[in-house]
Amino acid sequence: MSAEQLATRIGVTKPRVYEIEKAEISGSITLNSLERAAHALDCKLVYTLVPRLPLQETVALRAQEIAKKRIRATSHTMLLEDQALDETELGEQIETLARELSDQAGSGFWEEK
């Protein structure tokens, strides 16, 4: 389909079609423009976000991150009081807390603190 034919279908001028093409190349095209172009081409625009990892894995990694921060902060205090955990105990505490956090994950689970 030529730029002129597409312009007619979308209801814009031929130079506007070139602007839309440039916007697509630069990554600045709007969803509205994409929707209009899709409609003119008898296509359906599908806008989706696809997770890089499965949800369970994402939650588990986030729980591990939170657990490490919390346990390491507590571990530092225990070290000052000469009650430090060894690496095995520290790892077990992190795993236990991470499981608990995963089970209780709510909206605050994703907040950066």
Q: What pLDDT sits at residue 27? A: 92
From the CB of residue 5, how many other CB atoms can be counted at a distance below 10 Å? 12
Residue with token string 């839309």: 20
Query: Where along the chain do its domains lie?
Result: 3-40, 55-110
For residue 87, the one-letter residue type is E
How far apart (Å, rounded) are the C-alpha atoms in residues 41 and 28?
Answer: 20
8 Å CB contact between 25 and 40: no
Cα distance between the two ends of the chain: 52
Residue with token string 């389909």: 1
What pLDDT, in 10s, does the model give residues 44-68?
Answer: 999 999 999 998 899 899 999 999 8
pTM beyond 0.75: no
For residue 111, the one-letter residue type is E
Per-residue pLDDT of the chain (113 residues; tens, 9 = 90+): 888 988 998 888 999 999 999 999 999 999 999 998 899 889 999 999 999 999 889 989 999 999 988 888 777 665 555 566 677 888 888 899 998 888 887 767 787 76
Which of 57, 55, 65, 58 is CA-nearest to residue 97?
65
Q: What pLDDT sits at residue 84? A: 65
